[in-house]
Structure 1
Amino acid sequence: MAGMDGAATLEGIDEQIEDGIAWLGLSGRDGNRLTASLCAALDAALERAEADAAVACIVLHGADGCFSKGELPSELEELAPQTRALPGAADLCLRIERCSKPVIAALQGAALGTGAELALAAHYRVASPGTRFGLTNHLLGLPPAAGATQRLPRLLGAGPALDLLLSGKAVLLDAAPQAALLDRLAQGPLDEEVRAFCAELRAEGLGPRPSAARREGFADPAEYQRAVAARRAETAKDPNPARREIVAAVEAAQLLPFASGLAFEADAYEDCRASEAGRALRACAAAERSAFEAVPRGLARRGHVAVLGDGPLAVPMVQGLLAAGEEVDWGCDTPEALHAGVIALRDRLGPQTDGDDETSPLERLRVGAPAEMAAAARIVLLAGPGQRAVPIPEDAIRVIAYPARVDGIGLRFAPTPVAPRLVEVIAGPGARADRLAEVEALALRLGKLALRVQSGGESLGGRLFDVLCRAADALVDLGQSPDAIDAACRVWGWRRGPFVRRDQMGLDRLGAQQRGPDAANWASVLAGAGRPGRSGDAGFYDWDAAGKPHASAAVEALLNEKRPAADPMPAARLRALLLAALANEGARMLETGMARCASDIDLVALQVLDLPRWRGGPMHAASELGAAALRKALAEMMHPDREIWAPHPAWQALAAAGGDWDVAAGAGAPTAGRWLSRA
Structure 2
Amino acid sequence: MSAEYQVQGNLAVISLNNPPVNGLGHATRQAIVQGISRAHEDAAVTAIIITGAGRAFSGGADIKEFNSPKAFAEPSLHTVISVLEDAEKPVIAAIHSVCMGGGLELALGCHYRIASPGAQIALPEVKLGILPGAGGTQRLPRAVGLETALNMIVSGNPVSSEKLAQTALFNQIAEGDLMTAATAFANQVAAVRPLPKVRDIRIDYPNYEAFLQFSRNTVKAMSGPFPAPLACVDAVAAAVSKKFDDGIQFERELFLKLVQTTESKALRHAFFAERAASKLPDVPDDTPVRTIKSVAVVGAGTMGGGIAMNFANAGIPVRILEMKQEALDKGLATIRKNYENTLKKGKLTQEKFDQRVALISGTLDYQEIAQADIVIEAVFEDMSVKQQVFQQLDAVMKPGAILASNTSTLDVDKIAAFTRRPQDVIGTHFFSPANVMKLLEIVRGKQTAKDVLATVLALSKKIRKTGVVSGVCDGFIGNRMIEQYSRQAGYLLEEGCTPEQVDKAVEKLGFAMGPFRMGDLAGNDIGWYIRKRRYVEKPHIVYSKTADLLCEMGRFGQKTGAGWYDYKPGDRKPYPSAVVNEMIVKHSADIGVERRKISDQEITERLIYALVNEAAYILEEGIANRASDIDMVYLTGYGFPLHTGGPMFYADTVGLSNVVRAMEKYAKGRHGEAWKPAPLLAKLAAEGKTFN
TM-score if structure 2 supplies the norm length? 0.85
Paired-residue identity, %: 29
Aligned partner of 2:681 in structure 1 is 651
Any residues of structure 2 matched to 1:414-425 within 5 Å, and which?
414-425=431-442
| Contact preservation (8 Å) 1:508, 1:523 | no
Moved more, 51-60 or 154-163: 51-60
Aligned equivalents of 1:345, 1:315: Cα separation in 2: 6
Letter of the structure 2 residue corresponding to residue 445 of structure 1: K
Q: Does 1:489 align with 2:484?
A: no
| Contact preservation (8 Å) 1:102, 1:207 | no
Letter of the structure 1 residue corresponding to residue 677 of structure 2: P
Letter of the structure 2 residue corresponding to residue 523 of structure 1: A
Cα pair distance change 1:90/1:322, threshold 3 Å: same
Deviation at 1:432, TM superposition (A): 3.2
Alignment counterpart, residue 229 of structure 1, candidates 213, 226, 232: 213
Q: Does 1:462 align with 2:479?
A: yes
Aligned equivalents of 1:32, 1:560: Cα separation in 2: 62
Letter of the structure 1 residue corresponding to residue 256 of structure 2: E
Aligned equivalents of 1:107, 1:83: Cα separation in 2: 23
Cα pair distance change 1:445/1:549, threshold 3 Å: closer
Aligned partner of 2:5 in structure 1 is 14
Any residues of structure 2 matched to 1:146-545 within 5 Å, and which?
146-176=134-164, 180-202=168-190, 205-215=192-202, 218-222=203-207, 224-237=208-221, 238=223, 239-294=225-280, 299-349=289-339, 360-385=355-380, 386=385, 387-390=389-392, 391-393=395-397, 395=399, 396-403=401-408, 404-407=410-413, 408=416, 409-455=426-472, 458-512=475-529, 513=531, 520-528=544-552, 532-534=556-558, 539-543=563-567
| Contact preservation (8 Å) 2:523, 2:558 | yes
Cα pair distance change 1:367/1:485, threshold 3 Å: closer
Deviations 1:256-287 (A, max 9, x none): 11111111111111111111111111111111
Cα pair distance change 1:544/1:125, threshold 3 Å: same
Moved more, 344-353 or 332-341: 344-353
Letter of the structure 2 residue corresponding to residue 591 of structure 1: E
Deviation at 1:576, TM superposition (A): 2.2
Cα pair distance change 1:86/1:225, threshold 3 Å: farther
Aligned equivalents of 1:544, 1:65: Cα separation in 2: 52
Deviation at 1:627, TM superposition (A): 1.5
Letter of the structure 2 residue corresponding to residue 622 of structure 1: A
| Contact preservation (8 Å) 1:140, 1:282 | yes
| Contact preservation (8 Å) 2:506, 2:604 | yes
Aligned equivalents of 2:331, 2:581: Cα separation in 1: 43
Any residues of structure 2 matched to 1:550-565 within 5 Å, and which?
550-551=575-576, 555-561=580-586, 562=588, 564-565=593-594
Aligned equivalents of 1:573, 1:85: Cα separation in 2: 45
| Contact preservation (8 Å) 2:297, 2:304 | yes
Aligned equivalents of 2:579, 2:353: Cα separation in 1: 59
Cα pair distance change 1:371/1:657, threshold 3 Å: same
Q: SS where residue 399 of structure 1 aligns?
A: strand
Cα pair distance change 1:331/1:149, threshold 3 Å: same
Aligned equivalents of 2:119, 2:39: Cα separation in 1: 26
| Contact preservation (8 Å) 1:590, 1:596 | yes
Aligned partner of 2:48 in structure 1 is 58
Moved more, 522-531 or 317-326: 522-531
Deviations 1:424-465 (A, max 9, x none): 122234433333333333333322222221115633221122
Aligned equivalents of 2:560, 2:458: Cα separation in 1: 42
Letter of the structure 2 residue corresponding to residue 214 of structure 1: I
| Contact preservation (8 Å) 2:65, 2:71 | no
| Contact preservation (8 Å) 1:477, 1:519 | no
Any residues of structure 2 matched to 1:136-147 within 5 Å, and which?
136-147=124-135
Deviation at 1:508, TM superposition (A): 4.3
Deviation at 1:357, TM superposition (A): 11
Deviation at 1:290, TM superposition (A): 0.4
Letter of the structure 2 residue corresponding to residue 656 of structure 1: A
Deviations 1:234-273 (A, max 9, x none): 2214122221111110111100111111111111111111
Q: Structure 1: state its 5+ residue gaps.
A: 1-9, 663-679
Aligned equivalents of 2:546, 2:134: Cα separation in 1: 54
Letter of the structure 2 residue corresponding to residue 143 of structure 1: L
Aligned equivalents of 1:518, 1:270: Cα separation in 2: 49
Moved more, 292-301 or 482-491: 292-301
Q: SS where residue 87 of structure 2 aligns?
A: coil
Bigger helix share: 2
Cα pair distance change 1:509/1:375, threshold 3 Å: closer
Deviations 1:289-334 (A, max 9, x none): 1013448565242553222233322222222222222232322221
Deviation at 1:360, TM superposition (A): 2.9
Alignment counterpart, residue 101 of structure 1, candidates 55, 80, 89: 89
| Contact preservation (8 Å) 1:490, 1:496 | yes
Q: SS where residue 99 of structure 2 aligns?
A: strand
Letter of the structure 2 residue corresponding to residue 110 of structure 1: V
Aligned equivalents of 2:355, 2:174: Cα separation in 1: 35
Aligned equivalents of 1:65, 1:618: Cα separation in 2: 36
Any residues of structure 2 matched to 1:54-133 within 5 Å, and which?
54-64=44-54, 66-76=56-66, 78=67, 88-133=76-121
Deviation at 1:473, TM superposition (A): 1.8
Cα pair distance change 1:210/1:180, threshold 3 Å: closer
Q: SS where residue 22 of structure 1 aligns?
A: strand
The total of aligned residue pairs comes to 646
| Contact preservation (8 Å) 2:146, 2:205 | no
Aligned partner of 1:630 in structure 2 is 659
